[in-house]
Amino acid sequence: MRVSLGITTNIHNWLFSTMNVTMASLVEMVLIALIYLTVFAVLGLFLVLLERRVAAWFQLRIGPNRVGFQGLLQTMADALKLVSKELTGTTRADMFLYNLAPYFVIISALMALAVIPFSYEFQAFDINIGVFFLIAVSSVGVIGILLAGWSSNNKFAMIGAMRSGVQTISYELSIGLSLLTMILLTGSLQLSEIVEVQKNGWLIVQGHIPAVIAFMIYMIAGTAETNRAPFDMVEAESELGAGFHTEYSGMKFAYFFLAEFINMFLIAAIATTIFFGGWLSPFGITESLPWLGIFWFLLKTFVLVFLMMWFRWTFPRLRVDQLLTLEWKYLLPINLVNIVLMALLVWSDLTIKF
C-alpha cells in the first residue's frame, strides 16, 4: 500500500520498528489482504441491497423491508442462507473445472480492486501500467464463465458461456479504446498520476467533446462487459434458466453473483478515476484529509453505479444480433474516430504551448 503521511505511515513504521523486515512485510501484506477482503464482502452486500432498493423505486414497490430496520439486514440473511445451503451439482460435470471456475471470476475482481486508488493513501498496488493491468486482469474473469458453462455439461450453461465469450471479446475493444482516448490526454497509464493531472479540472472537462463521447461509450460497453441488462444475454433467465451458472448453488453461485456486483463497482470506479478526478473534491484538493478523499471517490462511484442500475430497469434486453451490431457497427467506428479527434486536440494544445 502506498506509504504517505497518515495512518498508513504510522502502521508501516510501527511494524518495521517491532519486527524484522521479512516478518513486518508479511504482516503488512496480510493486513492489506484482510482489509480488501472486508471491503469486497461489504461492497457486495451493500450493492445487492442497493440494487433491490433501486428496482423497487423504479417499479413503485417497497422492496426489502422485513429483516432488520427497513430491510437493511436482508442481504446479510441471504448471504447466511447461501453459506448454509447444500452444494448441489451434476454427476456429469467435469468436477475439477466446475469447482475451479468461480475462483477465476472472484480472484480477477479482487486483483482489479487492488489497483483502484480510493484516496491518496488507500491504494494497495500503484504501478506505472495501472490502466493496462486493469484491462488485462478484468479479461481473466471471462475464463471462469467459459469454464463454468463448459464444465457443467448443461446446454443452457454452454450457450450462456458461448455468448459470454462473444460479448466480452466484442465490448472489451470499446472499453480499451475509450480508455486509450483519455490516456492520450494524460500521457500516463498510472492511475495515481491520472488523478494528479485532474487537479486543475476533471478530464471529462479538459478533454472537451471527445472525452464526453469516450465516457458515454465506456459506460455502455462497461455495462455490457459486466453482463448486466439490457446486455444480460449471458444469463438471460427467461431463455436459459440462469445461463452459465445454472448448475451452481450455495457459495459457488454466490461467488458468481457477488463478482457481478463487484465488477459493476469496478467499472464505475475506473470511470470515476479516469473521467471525474478520482478522490479529488470538486471544491479543492483533499490530500490532507484522506478520509474525505474516500468519501468523494465513493460518492462519484455510487452515482455511476446508480446510472448502471437505471439502465437495467429502463431498457429491454437486446437480441444477440442487436448486441453485436451495436458494438461492431456503431461503438467501434465512433471510438476510432474519437481517438483521432482526441489526438488532434492534444496536438493542437501542444502546438499552442510551443
pTM of the model: 0.90
pLDDT at 2: 47
Site of grid cell 491518496? 120
Grid cell in block for residue 197: 493531472
- Are 189 and 195 in contact by the 8 Å Cβ rule? The answer is no
- Are 181 and 214 in contact by the 8 Å Cβ rule? The answer is yes
Residue 185 and residue 206: Cα distance in Å, rounded? 8
pLDDT at 276: 94
pLDDT at 28: 84
Residue 240 and residue 282: Cα distance in Å, rounded? 45
Show Cβ contacts of residue 169 under 8 Å, excluding neighbours closer than 6 positions: none
- Are 179 and 274 in contact by the 8 Å Cβ rule? The answer is yes
pLDDT at 281: 85
pLDDT at 30: 87
Show Cβ contacts of residue 175 under 8 Å, excluding neighbours closer than 6 positions: 135, 218, 221, 222, 225
Show Cβ contacts of residue 203 under 8 Å, excluding neighbours closer than 6 positions: 182, 185, 186, 194, 197, 211, 274, 275, 276, 277
pLDDT at 354: 52
pLDDT at 27: 86
Tens-of-pLDDT digits for all 354 residues of the chain?
A: 444 445 677 777 888 888 888 888 888 888 888 888 898 889 999 999 999 999 999 999 998 988 888 888 998 998 898 888 887 777 788 889 998 999 999 999 989 998 999 988 788 888 889 899 999 998 888 889 899 989 988 888 888 888 888 888 899 999 999 999 999 999 899 999 999 999 888 999 998 899 999 999 999 999 998 888 888 888 777 777 777 888 888 888 888 888 889 999 999 999 999 999 989 888 765 556 667 888 999 999 999 999 999 998 899 888 888 999 999 999 999 999 999 999 999 888 766 665
